[in-house]
Amino acid sequence: MIQIKGLVKNYGMNHVLRGVDLHVRPGEFVTLVGSNGAGKTTLLRIVATLQQATAGQVTIGGWLLPQHASRVREHIGLVSHQALLYGDLTAAENLTFFARLYRLENQQERVATALKTVGLLARQRDAVSTFSRGMVQRLTIARATLHEPDVLLLDEPYTGLDQDAARLLDDLLRRESANGRTILMITHDLTHGLNLCDRVAILNRGKIVAEVDSAHTNPAEFLELYTEHTRRREKRRKRPVSGSGSSE
Amino acid sequence: MSEKENNSSFIIPNSAFWSSVWAIVWKDLQIEKHTRQIVSVMIMFSLVTVIMFNFALEANLAAAREVATGLLWATILLAGTLGLNRSLAIERENQTMEAILMAPINRSAIYLGKVISTTVFVLILEAILVFIFIIFFNKPYWRPQVILVLFLGTIGYIAAGVLVTSMTIQTRTREVLLPVLLLPLSLPLVLPAATIVSSYMFPQLPELAEIQTPLSLVLVYDLLMLAVGFLTYHYVVES
């Protein structure tokens, strides 16, 4: 479903992505973990058609980006740590607006169903600015899945959530995954990263350095693997530059 | 994936395009209905400007009436920058523009939607301003020709304004940068528009031939700005 080959993204002399290769199969839930500055958000923004790569290839459902970005947009939904919702509009108005943008049929019905799914039907007439962080995040999921996208992209969805809200989000994501949606989530929360998904990839300094099947990896092993990869890279980064210019 | 209709690369507006435009307009009007923060701010600013000006020229009523048309346009332009800034700032807060950009819609539809909604807000302001100016300066701003020129001038100003505001909204100095860029850009529109309005302030109405040149300039400006915005908004919001 998502095929990333040799993806490179530079901001001037800052090399954020240095040749990322990743394949997410249809219906698969893949989590991308990495420390701050690893390039996770940049990678997700490129897949979400919000940025363009410097080099490399990204295809979603066989459509090449950015050439077929408009076709891809019909099939992806994005949940970010930013709500991407209007605080001054009610929950129902927010969803109605996005239903109109996506030219969905039976808009009122779909909005009501989406609000019911995330448990916000009773608050549909309340302004989003009055919602708690957890409620906003649930509404964000309703917004991102309103047009029933094949691919759901999640950018640090657990940021700012308390335990109860995080558990609710877990349930929603499990439901979306069970419905056959392809999910790519980026997070630095290793516990959630491993628990929910089928596969975890570790991104460090703009490269995928390891991939593990979550069903066959326990949290302790994964933490060890993550620490090993990120520490090794950190050591390389901290090594003083020698006068001869040799690195490894 | 199914192959649905793809309209985001079309230049010729179709029904899907107008549906997207209406979605943007509807959303902006709903937000304004709840908050009333764009129109009310513009009205307050305009009232303060007109009252201060009225006090300043209280001793010389003839001079005040002489420059009233210029003051009307200056008030609309300055209040308009407040409305434009707020209208686009809504999309910057919570990064909602990203959610809009992720929808499979033509970027020109976003531009046109913003132009229409902001024009509606400024037209509401103008309706109130015209009423105030008739009372304060006792001049015939109610004439249909004057209303038409105000309408045409507003379209051109907002067409340019939405484009410039979309460029400056991401900068730290946006409040300063917008008037600095937009007001000089509006001169080719405001000068002929003010000329036409002034010519209708006398009991003797001008012949069409007398206002043909300034009216043509206003129309050309409107069409040019709408065309530039329509064709370039894609680059403005995606770069």
What are the boundaries of each domain within chain B?
3-238
CA distance A140 to A241: 45
On whether any CB of chain B is under 8 Å from the CB of A78, the answer is yes
pLDDT tens digits, residue range B178-196? Answer: 999 999 999 999 999 999 9
B/e letters for A104-138, b = 16+ CB within 10 Å, e = fewer, are beebeebbeebbebbebeebbeebbeebeebbbbb
CA distance A41 to A45: 6
Shortest Cα–Cα distance, A61 to chain B (Å): 6
Cα-based angle A200, A203, A206 (whole degrees, multiple of 5): 155
CA distance A68 to A65: 6
The answer to whether the CB of A70 falls within 8 A of the CB of B104 is yes
Q: Given an 8 Å threshold on Cβ–Cβ distance, is B101 in contact with A50?
A: yes
Nearest CA in chain B to A67: B9
Shortest Cα–Cα distance, B30 to chain A (Å): 7
- What CA–CA distances, in Å, run from B201 to B6, B52, B139? 51, 23, 6
Query: Best of B102, B110, B239 to disrupt the A interface by mutation (most A CBs within 10 Å)?
Result: B102
Provide the ipTM: 0.86
pLDDT tens digits, residue range B36-58? Answer: 999 999 999 999 998 888 888 77
The answer to whether the CB of B107 falls within 8 A of the CB of B238 is yes
Residue in A80, A76, A79 with CA at minimum distance from that of residue A151: A76
Residue B95 zone, left/alpha/beta (φ > 0; ψ -120 to 50; rest): left
Q: Given an 8 Å threshold on Cβ–Cβ distance, is A49 in contact with B99?
A: no
- What CA–CA distances, in Å, run from A244 to A59, A237, A241, A248? 41, 17, 9, 12
User: Where residue B210 falls among pLDDT bands split at 50, 70, 90?
Assistant: confident
pLDDT tens digits, residue range B136-159? Answer: 888 888 999 999 999 999 999 999
Q: Is B119 helix (H, G, I), strand (E, B) or coil?
A: helix
Beta-ladder partners of A236: none
Tokens 């995954």 sit on residue: A177
Residues of B with CB under 8 A from a CB of A: 1, 3-4, 6-9, 16, 19-20, 22-23, 26-27, 30-31, 34-35, 90, 93-96, 98-105
Does pLDDT of B90 surpass 80?
yes
Q: Which of A70, A98, A103 sits opposite B19 (nearest CB)?
A: A103
Q: pLDDT tens, position by position, for chain A (248 residues)?
A: 899 999 898 888 888 888 889 999 998 999 998 888 788 889 999 999 988 889 999 999 888 888 888 889 999 999 887 889 999 999 999 999 999 999 999 999 999 999 998 889 999 999 999 999 889 988 998 999 899 999 999 998 888 777 877 888 888 888 888 888 899 999 877 777 777 888 898 888 888 888 888 777 777 777 888 888 776 555 555 555 444 433 33
Does pLDDT of B9 surpass 50?
no
Stated length of chain A:
248
Task: Please tell me the predicted confidence (pLDDT) of residue A247.
Answer: 35
Chain A residues with CB-CB distance to B103 below 8 A: 73, 98, 101-102
For residue B104, whether the previous peptide bond is cis, meaning omega lies within 30 degrees of 0, is no
On whether any CB of chain B is under 8 Å from the CB of A64, the answer is no
Nearest CA in chain B to A87: B94
Q: Given an 8 Å threshold on Cβ–Cβ distance, is A76 in contact with B102?
A: yes
Using CA of residue B106, residue A7, residue A5, residue A231, what is the dihedral sign? Answer: negative
Q: Given an 8 Å threshold on Cβ–Cβ distance, is B96 in contact with A85?
A: yes
